Structure formats: C-alpha cells, structure tokens
Amino acid sequence: MPKHDVLVIGAGLAGQRAALAAAEEGVSVGIVSKVHPVRSHSNAAQGGINAALQEGDSWESHAFDTVKGSDYLGDQDAIEIMCREAPDEILHLEHLGVTFHRNDEGKLGTRAFGGASQARTYYVADITGQAIMHVLYEQLMKYSELISRYEEYFTTGLVLDDEGRCAGAVLRNVSDGSMELFEAKNVILASGGNGQIWQPTTNALICTGDGIGMAYRVGAPLMDMEMIQYHPTTLAKKGFLITEGARGEGAHLLNAQGERFMERYAPNKMELASRDVVSRAEQTEINEGRGFDDGTVSLDITVVPRKRIHEALREIVLVGRDFAGVDITREPIRIKPGNHYTMGGVKTDVNGATTIPGLYAAGEVACVSVHGGNRLGANSLLDTLIFGRRSGEHAAARAKQVEHGRTSDAVLADSELEIAELIGRDHTKGRRVSVLRKELGDTMDRFVAVFRDEAGIQTALDRVKALQEEYPSAYIDDQGTVFNQDVLGAIELGFMLEQAECTCVGALHRTESRGAQYRTDYPERNDEEWLKHIDLTRSEDGPEVSYSPVTITQWQPMERTY
Amino acid sequence: MPEYTLKVRRYQPESGEGPYWQEFNVDLDPDLSVLDGLLQVRDRQDGTLVVRCSCRAAICGSCGTKINGQSGLACKTLISEAQEDADRRSTNGSAPIVVEPMGNMPVVKDLVTDMESTHWEKIRRVTPWLLPEGDPPEREYIVPPESMIDITQSMACIQCGACVSSCLSMEADPEFIGPAALAKAYRFVGDPRDGDTKERLYDLAQDPHGIYDCTHCFSCVDACPKGVAPMDQIMRLRRKAGDDEDIDDDNNGRRHELAFTKIIERKGTLDESLLLQESYASGIKGKLIPTPGAIKGLVGSLPTAVRGIRTGKMRSLSKLIPGVHPKLPGDSQKHVRNIYEHAESHREELNLYITGEEEALEEGAPEEPLEPEADLTPEAEVEPEPDEERGR
C-alpha cells in the first residue's frame, strides 16, 4: 500500500507546485492525476500571470485591482498574501527555466490585461500556462526520487480516520482497473474546476470538479459556488477560449453594426474592464438584437500589428484557423461569453487548509477566496502557484508533527463495490450516463449563466435534482478493467450533479447582483445583506446553507465602475 | 447533418482477441473534428471505445492518433477534411475515414498507446531540466529577447507524440532518441541560462541513436500539430554541435553531413561515388585526410553499399565509378553556389513565432532575393578545387 506524508491529487500547476514545495521540506510526496500531468487543464491558461514586479507598480495596487475585480467578495487578507508573494514566485519560475517574454533590455516584459491598473501580466506568447506547467513537470522529473508520480490514477474518494482527519484516498489505476488505498498524513486537493457542468465551456473534458465533489462528500464546506465566470471571448459553437491577451494587445469588440459597444458600458477601461462586466455587455448587445444572427458579437484583432500577433498571439491564430476557419490577422472573429472558471470551491484558509484536519485544497478546486465574485484575468495561474506552494509547505510541516491516521480497508471495499454496481447496471432500464451529462450541461448553461433569475435557477435546480434521482439507474457500456473511461465518466457525473445542486442553491440564495452572479430580479449589489460568503455543507437533504464574513483589511466596498 | 463513416482499428485486450477493424456511422457538422466523431460514437453507440482526450482544442496533446495513415491530433482534424482525404486516397473515390492508434508505440486498448515506455522514457533521456551555472541572480536572468522567442518554438511542444508516431528513423531504430525528445533538448541547448550546453551537445552527438540518427525525412514536421518542426530543432542541434562546438562524433555523422553538402555544392547533385570516401576521408587540398576510424567505418559500410546495389536502391553501378557523375547544364552550378552563399550569410531559422505562417510571407515579411548581388565573386574566378580534379 503506497504511503506518503503528503499526497497531492491533481497535477496541474497547483498540484505540481504543491508537490515540489512539500518535497523541498524533505517529506515523502506522492502526486496522482487521472491524466498524464502535462495534459492538465492549466495548459489552457493562455494570457499570462500577474505580479507587481516592475518599478512603479506595487502589490497594493495589484491587490486593490483584485479586490475591486472580485466585487468586494474576495478575502483581503488572502489577496494581500497572493499579491505580496507574486513577484518572488515569478522570479522563482524564471530561474527554473520558464521562457518568459523579455523586453528590449532582456528583462521580463509585461502585457496589459483586463481589470488591471498597470500592465503587470508576465507571459510566454499565448501559451503561458503550458510553458509554466511543462517547466514544473521538468522539475518533477528531476526530483523523481523525492516525488512519486502516479500518472493516470483516478481518485474515487477521500478516506477519513476515526477522529475525522483525512488519512488518504482510494485510487483506481486507469491502465488496469486495480484499486488501492493510498495512506497519507495529508491530502492536497489540486484537481481543478468544474466547467464541464456547463455546455459549452472553455474547460477540458477532465474538468469535472472531482476534488470539490470528494471534499463535499466527506463534510468539507464549499464556498461561493454560485460564482461562475463566463469569459467574454469564446468561440460560439465549441466554446474554445480566445485569450484576454488579444484585448490586452489592443483588439476591439464590435457588435453587428460595427460599433465598439464597450464605450457604453465601461468608457474608461473599454475592452479591458473586468470579465463579468464585459460578458454582461456582450450578452446585452446580443439579447437586444445588436449581435449577429448566430448569437455572437465580434472580436477584431486585425488592429494589432501582424508581427505582434505572430509573436504574442500565435495560439489564437491557430485556434481561429483550425476551429473557426478565420484568419484573425485579416478579419474579425465571432465570439460570445462562455463558461470558463469556478470562483467558488472547497473553503480553505490562507494556507490551503480546509476544515478537515489533513485535508488541503489549492487552485481552482479551492475557494480561499482571492477571486470573490469575479476573477481577474491572469490571476488564476498566480492563485494556483501561491496557494499550491503554501499548501505544500504547510502540509509538509504538519506531516512532521502527526502520525498516519488509522484507515480501514472497508473504504476500499466500498469503493470497489460501488464500481462493480455501476458496471453491472441494467441496460434496459435507465438512460446512458452520457445523455444525463449532456442534459445537465444544457440546463446549467441555459439557466445559471450570465443573467439569472429566480424562476430560471429554480428550474435548473429541479432538473438537477431529477437527474440526481435518475443517476443510480444510468448505465454504461464498458465492463472491463483496462482503461475503462466509461466507468470513470459515471463517477465524474456523480460529483458533477452534487456540485451543480450547490451552485443552484447558492445562486438562488444570493438575492443580489455581485460579480458573476447577476440576478435580473435583484439587479443591485446589496452590501448590507450580502457582503458575505455562502458556505454549503452536505446533509441528507442537500446542501445546508450558512454564512461567513468577508475579510476586509484596508479596502472598504465602493461603487465599481470601469 | 452529413453522415460520415469512421473505420476504427480496435483492440480490446481483455477479450483475448487480436486487433480488428470496426466501422461506425456518425452524424456530424462538417466543421467538427474527428475527435468529436469518436466522442459521438462513445456517447451514443459504444462506450467501450477508448481514446485519450481532454481539451478538444489542440492544447493538451492527449488525442494523438493516425488518421488516414497520417499522425496528428484527432481534435485538430476536421471530419470533413478527413473525409476528403480518405476519398482522395481511395481507388473508387469514396472510402471511410481510417482511425488508428499512433505508431512506434505499443497499443494498450483501442486508440490508447503506451507513451510511457516510448515517448516519456526518451524525453527523460535528454536530461529535460534546466542546469544553470551557479546560483540564480537576485532578479531575473537577463537574456536576449530573441533567445526566448527562439526556444518558445520548442516550448510549444505539447508532448502529443505525433512526431514519434510518424518517425521513419524510429521505425528502423527503435532506440533513436527521436524528434520529440530532441526538440525538447534544443529547448535547453538554445537557452542562454543553461550552463551545460556543451555537455548536452556532446552527449547527443556521440550517442549512436542521437542527432545524427535523423534521416531528414520531414515526417515529424508534417505530423506536428503545433509547428514545433522537430526536425528543424534537430538540425539546429547538429549545427551547434558541429559548427559551433566543433564536435566530431564517433558515428561520423558530422563528416557524413559535410560530405553531402560539399558534394552538392561542387556538383549540384549527389555524386554517390564520392560520398563514402568523402565522409571518412575528406579530400581537402588534394590529400586524403582519413578520420581515426576511417578504415573500420569504410569496411563497416560495405554491407550497406552492397545491399543498396542488390535492392536496386543504387540504380546503376556506373554511378559508383568516379568521374562518371554528370555535371549540371549551363550555369546551373553557379545558382547552386548562390544558394549556398545565401544560406551561409543568413543563418536564419524558420520560427513561426517570428515569421508567422508560411502564407503570411507572401505579402508580409519581405523575402530576401536569391539573385546574386553585384559584389559577389563570379563563379569563374573560383579556383577549381583538387577534389573536383580527382573527380574527373
């Protein structure tokens, strides 16, 4: 039975950074991922990573932009930590070998990004996430004697000991279907967001929020699950992402009449207002008939010099050419707001610790909360790295103080039984798992998106509950052990349904408009009643709601204009 | 919605049966991908069909497959284009889209291959992490901005394995380090922050399965979905090893390459009668200068030469007689030399992060003319070199 001081679940940026940080403290580390680490979705972060590292910039300015971007729902102590530690993290990555863009002097150069008062986004062309993640994976290979990698291992659930401490996890080796209990003094969840609950989404097929679902099942509270970011520039049909970097480089948003409509919504920052603001502006244009027939507006990148496009936006050239048949250097491309990011997640403190001893969470799976109601572009990579590292360090420190918890093989047996039951379901009764999954995605995108109201959210919640009832009879085809993706898809759907329920409950509950939550029936922000987090804890009757205060250090809520 | 037929090479290891072909019909928008087609099969018809996939947008590198025999990403191949391609290749103008697992790797199940034992082991072979000299600076390393853009082309690699799948050298020599790992190696060799450049180059040049094992076939350049052009990175490694570091490898790779370029510079086409000799003992200044292992190398090459003659690869024996090789007509040889001079005076790289896509060159970046400039030395004034004499 594998046994580690620190077991990291998920191997994107947060997970790899956590594993490296823990290993540096000299404890035994294992890192598991349901896909090969370099397939993780951190790859898709194109635009860059924020840090106040240039002369004339300050962490306070970065922090204020983040607080304002969050619509004052972000916890300011956590935001301060993130912004203060950002410059050192960038330098650390640079020293490890990340090929950050340089200015003419050969020093780190920046680009502009949305919601930021300074150009403080560091980048590698438009493959920043990929470039950083591959460099971290280089380090994992370098330190393979200190960090055991379990690649293509699917975590089916967390294991608690008798005292309610996290003591490990149950894993299924995807390649042969064998199940094992992994003992660990600490588990760090770093398994990403849950965009696949919405269709379409910019998120990869693996983004099913397994970690959020697992933590919720063992009693860890989730926070601000209603805060779901719709990115302003995604391809209409497939939902693929066009980086905010395009607007950072100067691209314009145009409606069908060719108007630069952001003039009416954010006259100062224009296209570089916060994402929630830009997405709402676009959706308003589309809803009021000023969009194109296919429900889109357009992004005009042709105003960016061609040389600069090739150097800085090459991935977007490829996305345009391969997936939309558009040469972005010559013509505008049709885009619309699309599901992109989970601001909410497993509630943690500034060290990544959840309420369950020994259970940590970092990155998109977690809600510290540094993003509050709306995440700023290029703050997600930063979040994964800062809180990944902090989780790794703290879990390692805790590992030195505690013994392994007592685990029982019964958990493993239960998991095996559950999978056997799933595989053995009757094909003649229920519907396919894939059909349920699609229905969930369509429902959520229709009712819990850019604009929401009570009736719509309630409809979504009813449908989600109906799907939950149907789930135990939903069937799959593959009954084998080797690379059975079918059964993993079914387990993922179970996690997704519970998270969707939480999102609907949170969205119904929050009767105000803040950040990504825009209620047409409550269009104003209401600080008096709602300057607080919504915490959801699992109970027999679904999520139980409680509240926790927003931490305010130095920035009192103000009106938010761009 | 149009209907397409996917002919998938399947393998279900637990069935006890060998691989087999299965056809599936899918209804799909023409601008969706082959991966979308496979996912539709999985979701609606047969959940046992497996393919690694995640991002659907050519970023994660999971869905490397062979489509109509061509290695690439299933998510990046439009189903309508795959259909046109299949039709074009067929004898009667219509055929199903053929989808197979990647080549040069063991198959685990259906379209899933074992990349660990092939691809990743080779990646680890090239010491794939930065080895800076000394402690890092207080702030960032100061490096030329172009150098970062230059290696970003290698960093753009998503480790999908399409190049490995298509590599003809690896088919002949499974131990060849291969296009992906060598492109990864260039990412460090080209990085001014790395302190081990020389050691890396020496290692890769001396390895019999290293940089000189590439046969320049361009398959990997065609297969790569991200424009990494692994072969170009291998050629850069060779240039740095040979020209910059002056590493004469035990495989004689460098001298063989020099022999090729030199013969063509002089004769316009490859005079095979000179190739072996020139590779092992170049004839500079009329004297043969054999390499230390020349005799052994020459003798060792004989079986290959005999096999070449026997299989008809070397078409006529007369080609092996020195002096028979035809000269280029008119002043064509002069043009060949001009190409050499142009290339040597422009050590430019085709890096898509700098130049953009090829078609962009048409109206964008001005191309340097290949015409000889006025101050170039006329061909006639060049003294004929002794080895040319010998050739006659």
Contact A294/B at CB under 8 A: no
pLDDT tens digits, A66-104: 999 999 999 999 999 999 999 999 999 999 999 999 999
Contact A425/B at CB under 8 A: no
Residue B1 confidence (pLDDT):
84
Considering only CB atoms, which chain B residues are within 8 Å of A173?
A: none
* Distance to chain A for B246, nearest Cα, Å: 27
The answer to whether the CB atoms of A306 and B191 lie below 8 A apart is: no
Other beta carbons less than 10 A from residue A455's beta carbon = 10
pLDDT band at A408 (very low <50, low <70, confident <90, very high): confident
Considering only CB atoms, which chain A residues are within 8 Å of B78?
A: 322
Structure tokens at A414: 């239960």
Residue A237 confidence (pLDDT):
80
Active site residues of A: 275
Helix-then-strand count for chain B, H and E: 16, 9
Determine the Cα–Cα distance for residues A368 and B70; give it in Å rounded to an integer.
46
- Indicate if the pLDDT at residue A249 is higher than 90: yes
Residue A215 confidence (pLDDT):
98
Residue B387 confidence (pLDDT):
43
Closest chain A residue to B12, measured at CA: A482
Rg of chain A, C-alpha, whole Å: 22
Residue A46 confidence (pLDDT):
85
Give helix A454-470 / helix A433-447 axis angle, nearest 10°. 170
Structure tokens at A180: 């094992």
pLDDT tens digits, B133-184: 999 999 999 999 989 988 999 999 999 999 999 999 999 999 999 999 999 9
Q: Per-residue b/e over A34-69, b at no fewer than 16 CB within 10 Å? A: bbbbbbbbbbbbbbbbbbbbbeebebebbbbbbbbb
Which of A46, A205, A326 is the best substitution to test chain B (most B C-beta atoms within 10 A)? A205
Share of chain A above pLDDT 90, in %: 92
- Indicate if the pLDDT at residue B218 is higher than 80: yes
Considering only CB atoms, which chain B residues are within 8 Å of A489?
A: 47
Considering only CB atoms, which chain A residues are within 8 Å of B149?
A: 101, 125, 311
Burial class, A120, CB count within 10 angstroms (exposed 0-12 / middle 13-18 / buried 19+): buried
The rounded mean pLDDT for chain B is 86
**CA A467 vs CA A361, A416, A462, B270: distances in Å:** 28, 24, 9, 70
pLDDT tens digits, B94-113: 899 999 999 999 999 999 99
Prior bond of A369 cis (ω within 30°): yes
* Distance to chain B for A105, nearest Cα, Å: 7
Average pLDDT over residues B218-231: 96
Of A39, A434, A435, the CB nearest to B60: A39
pLDDT tens digits, A345-376: 999 999 999 999 999 999 999 999 999 999 99
Residue B382 confidence (pLDDT):
40
- Indicate if the pLDDT at residue A508 is higher than 80: yes
- Indicate if the pLDDT at residue A176 is higher than 80: yes
Taking one residue from A and the other from B, the number of pairs with CB-CB distance under 8 angstroms is 192
* Distance to chain A for B217, nearest Cα, Å: 25
pLDDT tens digits, B173-214: 999 999 999 999 999 999 999 999 999 999 999 999 999 999
- The ipTM assigned to this model is 0.95
Of A38, A108, A109, the CB nearest to B159: A38
Which of B115, B126, B152 is the best substitution to test chain A (most A C-beta atoms within 10 A)? B152
Considering only CB atoms, which chain B residues are within 8 Å of A319?
A: 57-58
Interface of A with B in 435-494 (CB under 8 A): 435, 438, 476-478, 480-486, 489
* Distance to chain B for A309, nearest Cα, Å: 8
Of A101, A139, A481, the CB nearest to B14: A481
- Indicate if the pLDDT at residue A105 is higher than 60: yes
Contact A134/B at CB under 8 A: yes
Contact A178/B at CB under 8 A: no
The answer to whether the CB atoms of B47 and A127 lie below 8 A apart is: no
Determine the Cα–Cα distance for residues A395 and A416; give it in Å rounded to an integer.
29
Average pLDDT over residues B65-84: 97
Determine the Cα–Cα distance for residues A287 and B225; give it in Å rounded to an integer.
37
The answer to whether the CB atoms of B55 and A205 lie below 8 A apart is: yes
Considering only CB atoms, which chain B residues are within 8 Å of A306?
A: 356, 360, 364
Of B123, B142, B148, the CB nearest to A101: B148
Residue A417 confidence (pLDDT):
95
The answer to whether the CB atoms of B144 and A106 lie below 8 A apart is: yes
Q: Is pLDDT larger for residue A427 or for residue A552? A: A552
Which string of DSSP letters, residue by residue, matches B308-340?
Answer: HHHTTSS--GGGGSTT-SPPPSTTHHHHHHHHH
Considering only CB atoms, which chain A residues are within 8 Å of B13?
A: 482
The three state secondary structure string of A451-503 is CECHHHHHHHHHHHHHHHHHHHHCECCCCCCCCCHHHHHHHHHHHHHHHHHHH
Average pLDDT over residues A495-509: 98
Contact A260/B at CB under 8 A: no
Residue A366 confidence (pLDDT):
98
Considering only CB atoms, which chain B residues are within 8 Å of A477?
A: 46-48
The rounded mean pLDDT for chain A is 96
Average pLDDT over residues A288-305: 96
Q: Give SS3 for A548.
A: strand
Q: Do A149 and A171 touch, CB atoms closer than 8 A?
A: no
Residue B268 confidence (pLDDT):
84
- Indicate if the pLDDT at residue A264 is higher than 90: yes
pLDDT band at A54 (very low <50, low <70, confident <90, very high): very high
The answer to whether the CB atoms of A130 and B360 lie below 8 A apart is: no
Structure tokens at A218: 């063992």
Residue B316 confidence (pLDDT):
64
* Distance to chain A for B163, nearest Cα, Å: 17
For residue A70, report the phi and psi dihedrals to the nearest 5 degrees: -75, 0
Q: Give SS3 for A159.
A: strand
Considering only CB atoms, which chain A residues are within 8 Å of B52?
A: 35, 39
pLDDT tens digits, B32-63: 999 999 999 999 999 999 999 999 999 999 99
Which of A53, A126, A134, A202 is the best substitution to test chain B (most B C-beta atoms within 10 A)? A134
Q: Give SS3 for B5.
A: strand
The answer to whether the CB atoms of A39 and B52 lie below 8 A apart is: yes
Average pLDDT over residues A8-12: 98
Residue B386 confidence (pLDDT):
42
The answer to whether the CB atoms of B152 and A204 lie below 8 A apart is: no
Of A311, A323, A329, the CB nearest to B149: A311
The answer to whether the CB atoms of B139 and A91 lie below 8 A apart is: yes
Which of A95, A103, A105, A433 is the best substitution to test chain B (most B C-beta atoms within 10 A)? A95
* Distance to chain A for B114, nearest Cα, Å: 10
Contact A58/B at CB under 8 A: no
Considering only CB atoms, which chain A residues are within 8 Å of B56?
A: 204-205, 238, 240
The answer to whether the CB atoms of B352 and A314 lie below 8 A apart is: yes
Of A103, A125, A477, the CB nearest to B353: A125
Q: Give SS3 for B66.
A: strand
Residue B389 confidence (pLDDT):
39
- Indicate if the pLDDT at residue B240 is higher than 70: yes
pLDDT band at A57 (very low <50, low <70, confident <90, very high): very high
pLDDT band at B349 (very low <50, low <70, confident <90, very high): low
Residue B360 confidence (pLDDT):
42
Closest chain B residue to A138, measured at CA: B129
pLDDT band at A7 (very low <50, low <70, confident <90, very high): very high
- Indicate if the pLDDT at residue B286 is higher than 60: no
The distance of Cα B72 from the centroid of its chain, to the nearest Å, equals 14
Of B31, B60, B142, the CB nearest to A107: B142
Contact A431/B at CB under 8 A: no
Closest chain A residue to B194, measured at CA: A97
The answer to whether the CB atoms of B152 and A131 lie below 8 A apart is: yes
Structure tokens at A141: 């290979």
* Distance to chain A for B185, nearest Cα, Å: 12
CA torsion B263-B265-B268-B271 (nearest 10°) is 0
Contact A88/B at CB under 8 A: no
Residue B348 confidence (pLDDT):
63
Residue B262 confidence (pLDDT):
87
Contact A364/B at CB under 8 A: no
Determine the Cα–Cα distance for residues A140 and A151; give it in Å rounded to an integer.
12
pLDDT band at B343 (very low <50, low <70, confident <90, very high): confident
Determine the Cα–Cα distance for residues A501 and A460; give it in Å rounded to an integer.
9
- Indicate if the pLDDT at residue B361 is higher than 90: no
